Amino acid sequence: MSVETVVTEDDLAEMVEQVWASYLDPEGVSPLIPTADADQPTEVHSTVSITGTWHGHLVYASSMQAARKAAGAFLAMELDEVGQEDISDVLGELANIVGGNVKAMLPAGCFLSLPTVVLAPQTASYYPAAERISGLWGVWDGEPISISMWQSTKTGDNA
Amino acid sequence: MKILIADDSRVMRQIVTRTLRQAGFDNHDLVEAADGAEAAAKAASESPDLIISDWNMPEMTGIEVLRKLRAEGNNVKFGFVTSECTDEMKNAAESAGSAFFIVKPFTADQFQEAFSPILG
């Protein structure tokens, strides 16, 4: 089953817009601007895995500066007060929120993992049994951010 | 009133706290739990008037906490604030006695609507 028929890039964009409106840009002055540049560089990323009727991963990736700004916005902190733990926690929560919304659009019977955060580029992690099927790439105050979905290329319980 | 906020994410506990304040509910005692087992324990030891719980937590999930409390005869007002929202989850929550189901990301307006009947 292809998830593209269930969760489109427009769906991802709508979820991201809600996250920005609720937490990252409540004043509506600094939206995520789509670039469609799938190769834009990232420095940190977080992942939640989905298993069950669909197998794959939701990956949120950004520059360190964008992650720091996100942590500042989530935690109502000045940027120079934001520490590594704050960045990790907020990155995990961002993947969790978008992943939870993705799960809601998938067929019943899916399970969402707790998030895994890596303060290294997305290219530092490998998903050997999955391929990227969709994503949203953009800039927030000039800083790169991406949200992508990776679908398992295997089927069954071991996928 | 005393409110127990149960979420394994420190960030989300903080955001729930802030959103309660933004929604005008800033004169309540807040207690936190970082996983389901701690939530169940504090539901007993702290006797909160309201529990706002995540669904997916280590040790015990939110729905397991709710079912445990109801099985023990604890009828505290209990509801979910979660990033996950499927019909099966909503049905399970309702069947177990959940009073509300708020999906992340949420706004202060949604909190006001959900909690006004409970917190006044």
Q: What is the pLDDT along chain A (159 residues), one digit of tens a residue?
A: 555 456 888 889 999 999 999 899 988 999 999 998 888 889 999 999 999 989 999 999 999 999 999 999 999 899 999 999 999 999 999 999 999 999 988 888 889 998 999 988 766 666 778 888 889 999 999 999 999 999 988 755 444
CATH class of A9-25+34-152: alpha beta
Interface with B, mutate which of A97, A105, A113 (most B CBs under 10 A)? A97
Q: Say whether pTM exceeds 0.90.
A: no
Chain A residues within 8 A of B105 when measuring between CB atoms: 18-19, 21-23, 97
Task: Give pLDDT, residue A155.
Answer: 59
Query: Which chain B residue has its CA at the smallest distance from A26's CA?
Result: B107
B12-42, pLDDT tens digit by residue?
A: 999 999 999 999 998 899 999 999 999 999 9
Note whether B82 and B56 are within 8 A (CB).
Answer: yes
Residues in contact with A20: Cβ distance below 8 Å, sequence separation at least 6, in sequence order: A31, A32
Sequence spans of domains, chain A: 9-25+34-152
Q: Does B9 touch chain A (CB under 8 A)?
A: yes
- The residue type of A114 is L
How confident is residue B119, by pLDDT bands cut at 50, 70 and 90?
Answer: confident
Distance CA B31, CA B6 (A): 9
Q: How high is the mean pLDDT of chain B?
A: 94
Cα B81 to chain centroid distance, Å, stands at: 6
Query: Which chain B residue has its CA at the smallest distance from A107's CA?
Result: B86
- Contact assignment for B105 to A18 by CB distance below 8 Å: yes
Residues in contact with A122: Cβ distance below 8 Å, sequence separation at least 6, in sequence order: A42, A45, A59, A61, A146
Q: Does A18 touch chain B (CB under 8 A)?
A: yes
Q: How many C-beta atoms surround the C-beta of residue A43 within 10 A? A: 18
ipTM over 0.90: no
Which tokens in the block code for residue B12? 């989300």
